[in-house]
Amino acid sequence: MTRTFRLYTLFFGLILGISSCKTYYIPVDSFKQQFAALDTSKLKEVTTLGPVGDKVKYMTYPIDYIKCVGKDGKPFDLKNGPSIEIRFTDNRNKRTIFYFDRIRVSDSTVTGGLSRFIGSLAKTIPLNTIKKIEVQDGHKNYRYVD
């Protein structure tokens, strides 16, 4: 393989990777409304299969589609799944990234796991400090089974 061919292959792979992770936005008020109606007593159990064949069971909100908007401002329903990531940006421009199906929302906070591998790594952020919410399918190799 020539060096030029390898560079073109790398460039094409990077472009494909960047373009395949489309980012959507959830207005903060919409996020609060979507979760206000959800009750933690009605969580459902799911099992995910990870990239190395590991199966993990956990409880999640029964959300099939996430109501969000595209960069153009048009509404979009993003299919929920174990590879959906949600990014919260606070008033100090600090980002916190969770897996969407692992978050818990209360009247005043959002709590989520920071890692699928280390389940005890969690963080809680106040809802009133969030200025931007982004969601995207990270295309990680996780899927629901059973």
Q: Counting Cβ atoms within 10 Å, is residue 92 exposed (0-12), middle (13-18) or buried (19+)?
A: exposed
Domain regions of the chain by residue span: 22-145
pTM of the model: 0.81
pLDDT at residue 89 in the model:
98
pLDDT at residue 10 in the model:
46
Per-residue pLDDT of the chain (146 residues; tens, 9 = 90+): 555 545 444 444 444 444 457 999 999 999 999 998 888 888 999 999 999 898 989 999 999 999 999 999 999 999 999 999 999 999 999 999 999 999 999 989 999 987 776 666 889 999 999 999 999 998 888 999 97
